[in-house]
Structure 1
Amino acid sequence: MTQLLSLRVPAELKHPLFFSNEETILEKEDYNEWNCLIQLENFPYELLFYNKVESYLPWKDGDGHVPELLEKWKKIEAECGLLFSERKAGQALEPMKQGIGLFLSAVYWMHGMPVVMSAWQGQIKDFTYIPVNLVERLSFILARPAFFHSYRQLSELFREFEKQYVKSRIKK
């Protein structure tokens, strides 16, 4: 039997791009274990964690999940590229939101932490494996998610992050 949970959006995750309401609904069973088919743009595992609902914690094995997140991005990147090439920027907002959520999840999880949107600038700059000027670049993307330049910047961030990920794996 499916258990729908009405969860408050915690202060840690409040950001207008990802949450327009104070509450959201999730099916708890979907998050008891890792499922690579789940959409991550609204940080479902973090929602459950910050609401103190027992679920899978993907950041505990962040290194193991990063390759899957990078693969998901490649599909979203192609979709966004097509939309921008057809001058359909308005339709690119949803896939861009998915991509931004994937990127944040990958960066945080690789560093063993759940995503935090409330103080991300301060936290991310202290991470070891991140692209150059990440705070400035990601701030630009979050402010203008449906712009072509944001798409290009996000694509570059993913490429640079993938190199950082490989570097971290070699060092371990």
Structure 2
Amino acid sequence: MSDRTSEQSKLFHHPLFFNEAFTKEREIDDIKELASIPFLLDFKFQQKKAGLVVTNELIDHLFRLWRSEKEKIAASFKNRDRHAAKPAMIKGIGWFITILFWINGQRVARLTHLVEDCSSLPDQPFNLKERLIFILENPDHYLAYIQLTELYDELEKKWMMNLRKKEHMDRK
């Protein structure tokens, strides 16, 4: 691994999300498949110093991934198996953060100051900072799942409203 890649990977080091396999070279050409691994798409584009072109289709894909994963998480909690829910919750948290940045026209540049970076974004759900801290500290708790689900719902509504406003402005 080059020094530059090593420095960049340090920016993406977070106890919940970072995995050594994250920085390995991958032969994935499908952008949706890359996006399904939280933060990998942003990390890869940062390495190449290329602009990340986020489409509404890609954001919608991540919302669909969450809806699918949400059902698995709910089943795990219903069976009182919080350990089975935790990996899926971590993926869901990662997708939420990714969507939050993308909706705000930014890419995830680092995970080292995650809460501060997220709470500085202009378009965000109500009380994001407090809720995100709780979720990040308790990803295997049922109440964190409920909060994450509510955050997704609020963020998707904001995104849809912004899309409709943009469509309306484009018609004028």
Within the candidate set 126, 130, 139, 1:132 is matched to: 126
Structure 1 counterpart SS, 2:23: strand
Are 1:36 and 1:68, in contact at CA under 8 Å, matched by a contact in 2?
no
| C-alpha deviation, 1:66, in angstroms | 1.6
CA distance in 1, matches of 2:40, 2:22: 12
Identity %: 28
| Aligned equivalent of 1:165 | 159
2:169 corresponding residue in structure 1: none
Q: Which moved more, 1:85-94 or 1:122-131?
A: 122-131
The number of aligned residues is 162
Aligned to 1:45: 41
> Partner of 1:26 in structure 2?
25
Which structure features the higher share of helix residues?
2
Shift of the alpha carbon at 1:35? Answer: 2.4
8 Å contact from structure 2 (residues 9, 23) kept in 1: no
Q: CA deviation at 1:45?
A: 1.4
TM-score (norm 1): 0.81
1:93/1:145 contact within 8 Å kept: yes
Task: Give the gaps of 5 or more residues in structure 1.
Answer: none
Q: Matched residue of 2:156: which SS?
A: helix
Greater strand content: 1
**Once superposed, what is the RMSD of the aligned Cα atoms?**
2.5
Alignment-derived partner of residue 67 in structure 1: 60
Separation of aligned partners in 2, 1:155 and 1:46 = 23
SS at match of 2:31: coil
